[in-house]
């Protein structure tokens, strides 16, 4: 039970929508990877996804035709 509580406190579920910076269009099927845990997923046709973000990891977002973006999950 203590381990479960620690895991719940160290991550939060977030809903994201990936949009192009230039024209605000959803980025379909972008690859989103947590670098430390090596877990990943793809955005849907509307650029949306939902995932658990740990506090001490980095998120890498990439898609063909776009520059890769890496973000620390503390932000």
Whichever domain contains 25, its CATH number is: 2.60.40.10
The pLDDT value recorded for residue 26 is 95
**Tens-level pLDDT at each residue, the chain (75 residues):** 233 333 444 568 889 999 999 999 999 999 999 999 899 999 999 999 999 888 889 999 999 999 999 999 875
| Structural domain contains residue 5 | no
The pLDDT value recorded for residue 8 is 45
What is the domain range of residue 62? 10-72
Tally of domains within the chain:
1
pTM: 0.78
The pLDDT value recorded for residue 14 is 87
The pLDDT value recorded for residue 10 is 56
Three-class SS of residue 8? helix
CB 30 within 8 A of CB 61: yes
* Burial category of 33 from C-beta neighbours within 10 Å (exposed 0-12, middle 13-18, buried 19 and up): middle
């Amino acid at each position: 039970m203590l381990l479960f509580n620690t895991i719940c406190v160290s991550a939060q579920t977030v809903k994201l929508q990936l949009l192009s910076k230039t024209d605000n269009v959803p980025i379909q099927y972008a690859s989103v990877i947590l670098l430390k845990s090596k877990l990943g997923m793809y955005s849907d046709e509307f650029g949306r996804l939902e995932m658990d973000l740990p506090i001490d990891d980095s998120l890498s977002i990439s898609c063909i035709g776009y520059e890769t973006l890496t973000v620390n999950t503390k932000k």
